[in-house]
Structure 1
Amino acid sequence: MPDEDVVELIMNDHREVERLFEALRTRPADRPLLMPQLASLLIAHSRAEESEVYPVARDEAGETEEVAHSQEEHEQADALLGELSKLDPASAEFDSKLEELIEGVTHHVEEEESTVLPGMRERLSDARRAELAQAFSEARAAHLGDQPGGETREELVQKAQNLGVAGAGSMSKDEVKEQLPRP
């Protein structure tokens, strides 16, 4: 079996998120069961990208602006997941927030699949992408079940670095949080 490719793993997660979005739209009665699945997948996927993929995409594939933009979109998705977790899945407000999340994540996926991922395919060797696939898979597995807003200081520092915030490594957790965009 050939080595896995981090680009393919990321795109597989994107397809699963799209499947969950469709189910959330068409099966409202199943939302209490589907939302935890969606939140778990989105958060684990985002954290793995932020810790393992984005630093390499930025430093080795030259995708600096795209990584910063993608990090901002992750912040927005995390905030919306947090808001959705507090709403009644049968409410009109939930419908509205869900559509906002779907729109934002769909936009993010389209951008990532048209800029960052092709850049990684072009500029990183097959072996490097296989190495990243392993790191991404391990980080993703470690974060399954995480909830919005539950990042460690180290995870927040990585987000800030992905955004290009200078000196984040010497800041306290609260100081780093202040440097992150607020949706």
Structure 2
Amino acid sequence: MIDLGRPTHGDVVDLIIDDHRRFEEILRALRMGDVDRDEARRAFAAVHVAHSVAEEELVYPVLRRKADDVGQHEVEHGEEEHAEGNQALLRVLELKGTDTPTFVEAVEKLSNLVAHHLAEEELSILGPARTEVAERTRRELGAKWAARRTELLDQDCGDVDNVRRLVDQAKRDGHLDDE
């Protein structure tokens, strides 16, 4: 079993960064094939979706109001990158086999998109949040984010049908092109 993590409290910045490291670990295992790849892609889907939905619903709006350096552009860009990640994730989830060149290419694209997003979010959103948002606010937000993330995990949010719905909604919202 891959540990999805189920934090209950903490500084929201630390919790999000912990999840970022979890993403990297699961993606590394998925690329290397040293775990059951089907289990790894399902685990990644669950954590990625729960993390990003809770972040967009709860964290981004508060940080936009409380951190001078986190503006509408950073929030919209983060949402677009979540949508791109979900689109790449959907491609990985829809593939039948996990030992094909097509699967390897899809995982590579997903890994690259996620790595880019993590670096950018940590620099442009989480860094300013740590210095510009009061610790009490970050802790309160951490408890809310953790609870919502767990709720989404319990709802099987990484299911391929839900990921497909998220991608379709992102297209309707203008966060993705209709490729």
Q: TM-score range by the shorter chain?
A: 0.7 to 0.9
Residue 79 in structure 1 maps to residue 73 in structure 2:
no
TM-score, normalising length: structure 2: 0.82
Q: What is the DSSP-based 3-state SS (H/G/I as helix, E as strand, rest coil) of the residue aligned with 1:89?
A: coil
Residue 23 in structure 1 maps to residue 29 in structure 2:
yes
Does structure 2 retain, via aligned residues, the 8 Å contact 1:28–1:89?
A: no
Residue 92 in structure 1 maps to residue 107 in structure 2:
no
> What is the deviation of 1:178?
2.0
Equivalent residue runs for 1:170-181 within 5 Å? 178-181=172-175
Q: Read off the aligned partner of 2:124 and give its amino acid letter.
A: T
Does structure 2 retain, via aligned residues, the 8 Å contact 1:28–1:90?
A: no
Aligned to 1:135: 144
Aligned to 1:171: none
* Unpaired stretches in structure 2, ≥5 consecutive residues: 1-8
* Unpaired stretches in structure 1, ≥5 consecutive residues: 160-176
Equivalent residue runs for 1:1-183 within 5 Å? 4-27=10-33, 30-62=36-68, 63-64=70-71, 65-87=73-95, 88-144=97-153, 145-146=156-157, 147=159, 148-151=163-166, 178-183=172-177
Deviations 1:82-107 (A, max 9, x none): 11111121111111111111001001
* Identity score, percent: 33
> What is the deviation of 1:58?
1.5
Deviates more, 1:130-139 or 1:54-63: 54-63
Distance 1:181 1:115 in 2: 19
Q: What is the DSSP-based 3-state SS (H/G/I as helix, E as strand, rest coil) of the residue aligned with 1:181?
A: coil
Does structure 1 retain, via aligned residues, the 8 Å contact 2:29–2:35?
A: no
Deviations 1:18-56 (A, max 9, x none): 111111111166201111101000000001101110111
Aligned to 1:174: none
Does structure 1 retain, via aligned residues, the 8 Å contact 2:79–2:175?
A: no
Deviations 1:86-131 (A, max 9, x none): 1121111111111111001001000111120011111110100001
- Alignment: residue pair count: 158
Aligned to 2:4: none
Q: What is the DSSP-based 3-state SS (H/G/I as helix, E as strand, rest coil) of the residue aligned with 2:36?
A: helix
> What is the deviation of 1:180?
2.6
TM-score, normalising length: structure 1: 0.81
Q: Read off the aligned partner of 1:109 and give its amino acid letter.
A: L
Q: What is the DSSP-based 3-state SS (H/G/I as helix, E as strand, rest coil) of the residue aligned with 1:112?
A: helix
